[in-house]
Amino acid sequence: MLLKDKHIIVTGGTSGIGEACVRHFLGQGARVCMASNQKDSGEELEQELQKTFEDSVFFQYCDVADEGSVRDLCQAAEERLGRVDATHCNAGVWGKGKVTDFTTADWEKLMGVNVKGAFWLAKHAVPLMEQNETGGVFLVTTSVAAQTGFPEHALYCASKAALEALVRCLAVDHAGKVRAVAVSPGTIDTPMLAASCQGWDKPVAELYAEVEKRIPVRRLGQPDDIAKAAAFLLSNNAAYVNGTTLVLDGGTMALPPW
C-alpha cells in the first residue's frame, strides 16, 4: 500500500482523473479530502465511498479560483485529517479558441481555475505540509498541451505550461520540505475529452477510434492510468523525484509530424 497513512487533498476530485485518483489513493491506504465545485456529485460520492472507507474520506466544496474557498478547504482538511501530507492540484477547465478569439471572461474562467487556483492551493497547502517533520508533496495535473501547440487552444496550452513552471519554482523555493511534481496526461477517456469532441461532424466513438490508431500504445488513456502514476509520485518511493513532470501519453509525444 504505497500511500498507507498519507493524508491527501485532491481538488477536482469528483469526476474523471480526480475521482479515479481519490478511489485509488483510498485503496492504497490514504485518507483523502476530496474537493470540487460539483456539490451534488461530491456529496453522492462521499456517501458511496464512506460505506467502504468510513471516515478516511470526506467531501469539501471548493471553488479553487476563490482564495477564501481554498483557505477553507485547507483548514477543513487539517482539522478532519489531523495533518496534510500531500496535495493533488487536479481541478481544471478546458476552453477552445485562438488568441484573436478570447475574451476577458474566457481568461478569468480558464486562468482563474487552472493557474490562479493552483497558486491559491500552493499558498495555503504548502505551509501546512512544511509543518510536518517529514514535509510533504505538491502534485499538479498538467497536460501534454503544455508542450504542444494544439490548434485553437491558446489559453488552455498557456495555462498548462504555467503549471509546469510553477512546479519547478515550488521545488526550489520549498527545498528540503516539500517536493513538487506534475503528471502530464495525454488523451484520457474523461468527460472533459468528450466535451472537447462536441461540434465535430463525427460521432464521439468514431473520433476516439481514429485517435486510438494514432497513439503508439493503440488505446486511449484511462483515468486509472494517471491515478497509479500519481500514487507513486506521492509515495515515499518517489522521494528523489522533484521539480519535474511525468508525461503519460501512451507515446504520443514521440510521434514524428508526418
Calculate ∠ Cα 87-111-143, nearest 5°: 60
Is 156 a catalytic site residue?
yes
Which one is catalytic: 61, 156, 208, 240? 156
Residues 6+ apart with CB under 8 A from 212: 218, 219, 220
Q: Scanning the structure block, which residue is given the C-alpha cell 478569468? A: 108
Q: Scanning the structure block, which residue is given the C-alpha cell 506521492? A: 234
Closest by Cα among 8, 2, 71 to 34: 8
Question: By the 8 A CB rule, do 7 and 83 touch?
Answer: yes
Q: Scanning the structure block, which residue is given the C-alpha cell 497558486? A: 119
Could you tell me the CA-to-CA distances from 54 to 12, 46, 48 in Å, in that order?
A: 21, 9, 10
Closest by Cα among 193, 191, 223, 225 to 208: 193
φ/ψ of residue 186, rounded to 5: -90, -125
Q: Which residues pair with 203 in a beta bridge?
A: none
Instruction: Tally the residues of the chain.
Output: 258
Strands (E), 37-177: 57-61, 86-89, 136-141
Measured between alpha carbons, how far is 228 from 149 in angstroms, rounded to an integer?
27
Which of the residues are catalytic?
A: 156
